[in-house]
Amino acid sequence: MTGTLVLAGTPIGDLADAPARLAAELAAADVVAAEDTRRLRRLTQALDVRPAGRVVSYFEGNEVARTPELVEALAAGARVLLVTDAGMPSVSDPGYRLVAAAVERGVRVTAVPGPSAVLTALAVSGLPVDRFCFEGFPPRKAGERLARLREAAGERRTLVYFESPHRLADTLAAMAEAFGGDRRAAVCRELTKTYEEVRRGPLAELAAWAAEGVRGEITVVVAGAPAAGAEAPDAAELARRVAVREEAGERRKEAIAAVAAAAGLPKRAVFDAVVAAKNTVEIEPSPGKGLS
């Protein structure tokens, strides 16, 4: 009889969000594989439970080496519980290799469903949720990041990304370049924690905000590309979008080109809209002088 691999969701912020089954699984497991044993200790203290089995570390640095050891324990009949720092194991966290190896050996794999930063951010973003895709962390190198984002520029589904706080401003700026600065997005920071914040707006606006510095765990949700043949924005909206990009520091020529590309319009049409908006001045009648 082979054992069972249990993937356990853990709180993404508030420890009170821990699944009710998590304490029971921690107490029953023969082996608890944790991404960070110190965080596991804090979690078990909060849940008032003591793991009965062996606790081992399982993180990016030792995932390849430790996977065969855990698979052998599973094959021998052990119940192995895998927990990461926050959310579901294997979703941008260690776990995929272990799941794949366990499945290959015919080991049963199950889960204790729990909190998910992906679904939480998507739900509170205010963006369409009927179809979405999770893109994980964008590449760290600027060139690779921009290339990857450009590949997703035409994606119609809502996009969800993870990002570190110190790279957020650069990533949002690259998203504005790849998707268009007027594309709607939401930056979700410190979800379920004391200083939770959800910032919504056009990508160019969010990039300018993030340039001042942002802290905490970050999830970014970006609206999908508009449908082909969708109704074109009117002149006032085109001018507003150009103004948003200019306020974010972009030159007018580049802003017009980006807005035109995003709207599927000639650059001349956007230029004319900007000129029209600039020349439209509401003239208030001056108070009459010497009139009776």
- Beta-carbon contacts of 10 under 8 Å, excluding residues fewer than 6 positions away, are 18, 22, 43, 83, 84, 85, 86, 87, 114, 115
Q: What is the pTM of this model?
A: 0.76
27 by Cβ neighbours in 10 Å (0-12 / 13-18 / 19+) ranks as middle
Q: pLDDT truncated to tens, each residue of the chain (292 aa)?
A: 789 999 999 999 999 999 989 999 999 999 999 999 999 999 999 999 999 999 999 999 999 999 999 999 999 999 999 999 999 999 888 999 999 999 999 999 999 999 999 999 999 999 999 999 999 999 999 999 999 999 999 999 999 999 999 999 999 999 999 999 889 999 999 999 999 999 999 999 999 999 999 999 999 999 999 876 556 688 898 999 899 888 888 889 888 887 876 666 778 888 999 998 888 744 344 444 443 3
DSSP element (H, E) containing 65: helix 63-75
